Chain A
Amino acid sequence: MLKRLLVVVLAMFCLATQVVAQDAATEPTNETASETEAVALGPMQEVLQSVSELIVDSSRRTIQPAIDAVAGSGLDAAPFVLETWQARDMWQRISDGQFFKAVKAGDGYALTDFDTGEVVATVTKDDIEQIKPNSGIQGLIGSALVAFQLNDPDPAKRREALASLERNASEDLLGVLRASIDNEEDADIRARKERLEKLITITYGTDPANRIAAIESVAGNLDVAVRGALNPLVATRIMAFDGAIPDDVNVARELRVGSEALSREEAYALTDGEPLLTDDALRGLLQANIVDGAVGGVPVAELSDPERRVAAFEALEAAGTVPPAATEDDVDAALDGKVFAAVYSEPNADVTDAAQSALTAIETKVGLFQIFDLGLDALSLGSIYFLAAIGLAITFGVMGVINMAHGEFIMMGAYTGYVVQQIVPNHTASILLAIPLAFAVTFAAGVAMERLVIRYLYNRPLETLLATFGISIALQQLAKNIFGTQARPLTSPDWLGGAWVMNDVVSISTVRIAIFVLALIFLAVFLFIMKRTRLGLETRAVTQNRGMASAMGINPERVNMLTFGLGSGIAGIAGVAIGLYAQVTSEIGQAYIVQSFMTVVVGGVGNIWGTLLGAGLIGILQKGIEWFNPSNTLAAQTYMIIFIIIFIQFRPRGIIALKGRAAGD
């Protein structure tokens, strides 16, 4: 009941202020209308016509009066108009300039009148023009809608109103918001409202005690919005004062001239002394004072010497042709007796103190969580490298085959995912189908390659490198010929589309978690196959001593073929996973091949735990370096590789080196 009353009062108030403006604005419209045809416009249509130009012009800078006119019209249709407008469903009829909600109906558009809510006509697209408010205007409309929506029976609309209030908080709505909290039944929305109320109080509240209470209540909250509310309170600017600082200024700290925060030049610039003479200004002055091929008695030809230029300037200065420039003494004099301080723009010292201490608490927490988040990123990157390298850990680590086409197997996997998605439109089903299919395709490709090329080269590892490189570039070009050079979409199903959000600092996308889990699964699969199955036993036997294994009845040809196929197959599945978070192009494999080899080499050849450690190390290193130099990702990669090169100097066999006979060599 109270709620209703409030809305009505508010609406009346708005109306009252609006009527005056409206009268003035509607007059010309009425004139033109009477000239053509005296059609009685609905009240809302009249309001819209009064601000027609602004609406059509559609610029955030000028639109506010139009929004106010509609919102403040006091008509029942106001929220409907605003919602339609915001959703870009408002169109203007070209013939008479009237606005309607237009909905596509068959070949044409059905026009709904705002006042009656009824379909009045159906027209073709040529007869009407869409009003396209940009997202800035949409935001403003959203703010105007807040007052209507905060108490809307539909919870979705209330959420929308809160979202829009969160983006553009405003002082005016604080009262409405406070009033709406009491009647809120939905616990979730109520919590949001209360939180928002505090934030707006912090920024716009009038009572310092209230504000400080609000500030203290949000201490330790990690939301970006909280920091967004607190930080402006503690923003400072540097000011110069003569002698003592007046009491009514809320000083953050005094600054010493020549300190890191305030250099001598900066301090001087804050005073009103003569500008310092720069080299450019000097040249300009000299240039302006050339007389008979000389400046101040110094021939122009000599002016290529900086000292002669100063001499010329001094001569001019002495002659009084140019105004004297500020000297070091002038600077000293200007700075003497001045006090410099960083000053809060917020005048109340208690508020700034509270904000400062709340922020300090938050910052410490944010710092810790940021490190945690960085750790997650590193882990995620490590798992991607691990996934890309695990196939290589089999073919290179266990079998000793340098397969430069490994990256292209990743690519084949990714493209398989793409093709499957073209045939099976359901994303979940297509991913579940793509994984075994990618394995099958790359397994087959791996087996074919092993049979046709690699088996002839087991004794010539360096030549394997060349031959597989040849295959690599051929496969890449083949992919280009088949799929074109344009990147192909591989879309993750919706349940993988979002992110796991712990708070505003720590979050990680679900795809990355899935990749992490996949990497763990593969680790387990790898260990199982190698340690618990016949194939694993045979593989290890063949790698350690081919002749002996063969004497024991193992067919080394078959074992090599299957092992290589397995390694390639895993690369294919990795391709599907990588394609989900990155781009699917013919060059996708190239991005991972060198890193994959390094992962295996750093970890230690022939040991899956080594590969795991290697991937982890590379992930942590890269993210760690990025942390220090966030604006330059390339630098992180460069230094990471240099670190690896140096690392290998000290542990040439990797983190986990095989010992004894198995080390080969």
Chain B
Amino acid sequence: MKFVRTLLAGTVAAAAMTSAAAAQDCPIKVGVLHSLSGTMAISETTLKDTMEMLVAAQNEKGGLLGCDLEAVVVDPASDWPLFAEKARELLTVHEVDVIFGNWTSVSRKSVLPVIEELNGLLFYPVQYEGEESSKNVFYTGAAPNQQAIPATDYFLEELGVEKFALLGTDYVYPRTTNNILESYLKDKGIAQEDIFVNYTPFGHSDWSKIVADVVALGADGKKVGVISTINGDANIGFYKELAAAGISADDIPVVAFSVGEEELAGLDTSNLVGHLAAWNYFMSADTEANAEFIAAWHEFIGDEARVTNDPMEAHYIGFNMWVNAATAAGTTDVDAVREAMWGQEFPNLTGGTAVMGVNHHLSKPVLIGEILADGQFDIISETDPVPGDAWTDYLPESAVLESDWKDLQCGMYNTETQTCVQLTSNY
């Protein structure tokens, strides 16, 4: 049998292996599910490197539970079905104890059924649209109330914006976020006709008309602000057009939820000074932990010019929390670790402490930064830690829902009917 196994593994080594090893076999395997090719590689490769760095650092500290950690890296190639396939492969073939991965909600929705079926553990590091709480996923990125809502508040209160242009790339995150924001803005007394919504495809580059439309919004004398959920490299064309049109942040401020240090590396920011971004982390945060993290990153990657960003911090917190939870539980068994995760605390890189809630979302401070000429952000506002809210309070269907895996043991609990709507997630 053993012979057959090695033979098969040699020929079709992709996936043809299985064995029911005990949970505490050394080394402890950490799955890394980030695209290394295709459109999403642009963002995800960095996170793969981050994970390798964190695993190496942990091994230097003596590993976990007396074992060395081993990062198992697979490439889902920005292909959503492949995410599900690779997740299954990680869990059944490589038998990893935890998976760190995914970027974009589609990829997460693709992986969800697999993770839930096989009772895996996934740490998702990117800001997302909420409306989900899976038993098997820990969301270390921001939920809408940890990024979008505070940024909108900032627009309303600090900048006095009265008219909103919600520009987004056409996919789930912008759609849902804009939906939540629309309803939130209406709550705040902004009329429907003062909200302009536009969706563009991935990688869109022809922005002149949209920018002109936004400028024209100012025709009724109200102050216009842009909330941008434009994703990835489409931002570059957008900001270039914005700069060319000479729109300063004083006239029409733009706050972006998907533009971080990495994206700004692709363009000259001298004309964009003053436009905003909302995140839970900026590289410019002035703390000791952050300085150490940046130094470690530069050393690991061997390039002083590389920047750090918010999802990297999310992985940093997620990974360390997982290590601590596994240590506390004394095992890497998913259910034990999951229970040990609730209430885990770990210091943020920006100061303060992140706390994992029973709804599998982190409590983190929200930062708002202004773009500087050198491609960094000047942090101009920092809130107290905000607990992530899985189900938004601003949509009527979700306002009644609650997630509590500890006491209610349910990720989608209807407080009105007092019932658990479902245990698995919506895909």
Contacts and interface: CB of A to CB of B under 8 A. Distances in A.
Instruction: State yes or no: do A and B touch (Cβ within 8 Å).
Output: yes
B240 A61 contact: no
Contact of A480 (B37, B204, B215, B274): B37
Interface string B181-220: 0000000000000001111110111101110110110111
B236 A583 contact: yes
B123 to A, nearest CB: 22
Contacts of B251: 167
Nearest to B379: A132
A400 interface: no
Interface in A610-664: 623, 626, 630-634, 637
Contact of B219 (A135, A228, A377, A632): A228
Contacts of B268: 489, 491
Interface of B: prevailing SS: mixed
A134 B249 CA distance: 11
B221 interface: yes
A79 B179 CA distance: 44
Given A505-B216, A633-B204, A134 B42 contact: no
Nearest to A59: B158
In the complex, which range does the number of interface residues on chain A fall in? 35 or more
A374 interface: yes
B330 to A, nearest CB: 40
A193 interface: no
B199 A631 contact: yes
B266 A232 contact: no
Interface string A375-389: 001001100100000
A578 B203 CA distance: 13
Contacts of B243: 497
B39 interface: yes
B159 A60 contact: yes
B245 interface: yes
Interface stretch (A9-17, A431-439, A584-592): A584-592
A293 to B, nearest CB: 18
A60 B156 CA distance: 10
Contact of A381 (B206, B210, B213, B220): B206
A634 B171 CA distance: 12
B374 interface: no
Contact of A477 (B37, B218, B381): B37
Given A134-B159, A135-B159, A510-B244, A626 B253 contact: no
Interface residues of B, number: 59
Contacts of A275: none
A633 B198 contact: yes
A637 B268 CA distance: 29
A232 B240 contact: no
Contacts of A163: 250
Contacts of B263: 487
A115 interface: no
B97 interface: no
Nearest to A491: B268
A61 B381 CA distance: 14
A458 interface: no
A230 B220 CA distance: 7
Nearest to B35: A485
A377 B203 contact: no
B201 A637 contact: yes
A366 to B, nearest CB: 8
Given A231-B220, A377-B209, A509-B208, A583 B233 contact: yes
A477 B39 CA distance: 11
A167 B245 CA distance: 17
B234 A583 contact: yes
Contacts of A587: 39, 203
B42 A498 contact: no
A512 interface: yes
A462 B221 CA distance: 58
B209 A507 contact: no
Contacts of B216: 224, 505
Contacts of B241: 509, 581
B204 A61 contact: no
Contacts of B215: 224, 504
A139 B244 contact: no
A510 B237 CA distance: 14
Interface of A: 59-61, 132, 134-139, 163, 167, 203, 224, 227-232, 235, 373-374, 377, 380-381, 384, 477, 480, 484-489, 491, 497-499, 501, 504-505, 507-512, 578, 581-585, 587, 591, 623, 626, 630-634, 637
Return the 3 tightest CB-CB contacts between A and B, nearest first.
A487-B266, A228-B221, A509-B244
27 contacts: A134-B154, A134-B370, A136-B158, A136-B159, A137-B158, A224-B215, A377-B212, A480-B37, A484-B45, A485-B42, A486-B42, A487-B265, A498-B244, A501-B246, A507-B245, A578-B205, A581-B240, A582-B205, A583-B203, A585-B42, A585-B233, A630-B198, A630-B213, A633-B201, A633-B210, A634-B200, A634-B201
Interface of B: 37, 39, 41-42, 45, 154, 157-160, 170, 196-201, 203-206, 208-210, 212-213, 215-216, 218-222, 233-234, 236-237, 240-241, 243-246, 249-251, 253, 262-263, 265-268, 271, 274, 370, 378, 380-381
